[in-house]
Amino acid sequence: MRIGALEAGGTKMVCGVGNEFGQIECLEKFPTRTPETTMPQMISFFKEHKIEALGIGCFGPIDLHKESTTYGCITSSPKEAWRNYNILKEFSKELACPIGLDTDVNAACLGEMEYGAAKNCKNVIYITIGTGVGMGICAEGTLLHGVMHPEAGHMFVKRLPSDSFEGTCPFHKDCLEGLVSGGAIGARYGKKAYEIPVQDVAWTYTAHYIAEAIANLILTLEPERIILGGGVMEQEQLLFLIQKEVISLLHGYLGIKQLHKIEDYIVRPGCKGDQGVLGALLLGRNELSK
Residues facing 14 on adjacent strands? 7, 29
Closer residue to a second copy in complex, CB, 139/239:
139
Closest CB 235 distance from a second copy, rounded Å: 24
Confirm if 84 and 121 have CB atoms less than 8 A apart.
Answer: no
Q: Which is nearer to a second copy, 14 or 176 (CB)?
A: 176
Q: What is the nearest approach in angstroms of a second copy to the Cβ of residue 54?
A: 23
- With respect to a second copy, which residue has the nearer C-beta, 131 or 258? 258
> Which of 97/246 has CB closer to a second copy?
246
E-assigned strand segments in 1-159: 3-8, 12-18, 24-31, 53-58, 73-74, 85-86, 99-103, 124-129, 133-139, 142-143
Q: How far is the CB of 185 from a second copy (least distance, A)?
A: 20
Minimum CB separation from a second copy for residue 213, in Å? 9
* Nearest to a second copy of 200, 222 (CB atom): 222
Nearest-approach distance from CB 277 to a second copy, in angstroms: 25
Q: How far apart are CB 140 and a second copy at their closest, in Å?
A: 4
Residue placing its CB nearer to a second copy in the complex, 239 or 249: 249
SS3 196: coil
Contacts with a second copy, residue ranges (CB under 8 A): 61, 75-76, 123, 135, 137, 139-140, 142, 144-152, 154-159, 171-172, 174, 212, 215-217, 219-224, 249-258
3-state secondary structure 166-189: CCCECCCECEHHHHHCHHHHHHHH
Write the CB contacts of 246 (distance below 8 Å, at least 6 apart in sequence). Answer: 211, 214, 215, 218, 259, 262, 266
DSSP string, 43-55: HHHHHHTT-SEEE
Which CB, 22 or 223, lies closer to a second copy?
A: 223
Instruction: Give the bridge partners for 24, in sequence order.
Output: 18
Closest to 281 (Cα-Cα) out of 41, 112, 135: 112
Query: For residue 252, how many other CB atoms are within 10 A of its CB?
Result: 8
The rounded distance, in Å, linking the Cα atoms of 147 and 104 is 17
CB of 17 to a second copy, least distance (A): 30
Beta bridge partners of 133: 129
